[in-house]
C-alpha cells in the first residue's frame, strides 16, 4: 500500500550512482523530494529527470534536495546521469526495499500481461520526516514544476 500524506517517511538504504551507500535519513531536518521512476534512460524517465534537473537551482534555493529512485544498478544510473547532464541525486534500490516501503512496487498490466514494476510516484517529505504530499501515477509533463510549487508552500 502506498504511503499517504501524514505517514512517516521510511529510512531506507540505497546506493548512489557512484555505488556509495546512503540512507534517506541524511535529509532529516529539512524537506526533500523523493521520486520513483521505472527505468533509467527510457523516454518518460529521462524527461522527468531532465525536468527536475532544470529546476534544480530552484529546489536548492528552497533547501529541498531531489532524489530519484529506481531499481537500476548504480553503474547504469551513473551512465544515465552523465549522458543527460543530470544533477539530481539518482539512487539505486536494486533489492527493492525502498519501493516496498513507499508502496511503489505494484502489479502493472501491459497489453493484458500482468507484471510487477515501479509506479511512477513522487513524495514531498517535510522537515519533520512526514509525507507532506504524494503524487501517485505521475504524468511527467509539468510534474517537476508542480512539485516545486508544493515545496515552496512548505
DSSP H or E segment with residue 34: strand 32-36
What CA–CA distance (Å, rounded) separates 121 from 29?
Answer: 22
Within a 10 A sphere around the Cβ of 116, how many other Cβ atoms? 10
- Clarify whether 99 is annotated catalytic: no
Instruction: Point out the catalytic residue in the list 33, 40, 45, 144.
Output: 45
Residues in the chain, overall count: 154
Instruction: Give the helix, strand, coil percentages of the chain, each rounded to 5.
Output: 30, 30, 40
C-alpha distance from residue 42 to each of 58, 70, 84 (Å): 25, 12, 12
Note whether 123 and 115 are within 8 A (CB): no
Q: Catalytic residue numbers?
A: 45
Amino acid at each position: 500500500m502506498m504511503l499517504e500524506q501524514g505517514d512517516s517517511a521510511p529510512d531506507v538504504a540505497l546506493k548512489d550512482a557512484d555505488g556509495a551507500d546512503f540512507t534517506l535519513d541524511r535529509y532529516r531536518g529539512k524537506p526533500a523530494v523523493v521520486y520513483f521512476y521505472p527505468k533509467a534512460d527510457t523516454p518518460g524517465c529521462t524527461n522527468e529527470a531532465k525536468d527536475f534537473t532544470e529546476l534544480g537551482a530552484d529546489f536548492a534555493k528552497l533547501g529541498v534536495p531531489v532524489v530519484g529512485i529506481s531499481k537500476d544498478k548504480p553503474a547504469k544510473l551513473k551512465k544515465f546521469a552523465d549522458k543527460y547532464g543530470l544533477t539530481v541525486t539518482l539512487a539505486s534500490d536494486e533489492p527493492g526495499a525502498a519501493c516496498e516501503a513507499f508502496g511503489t512496487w505494484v502489479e502493472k498490466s501491459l497489453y493484458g500481461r500482468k507484471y510487477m514494476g515501479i509506479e511512477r510516484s513522487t513524495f514531498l517529505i517535510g522537515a519533520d520526516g512526514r509525507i507532506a504530499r504524494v503524487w501517485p501515477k505521475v504524468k511527467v509533463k509539468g510534474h517537476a514544476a508542480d512539485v516545486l510549487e508544493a515545496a515552496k508552500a512548505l
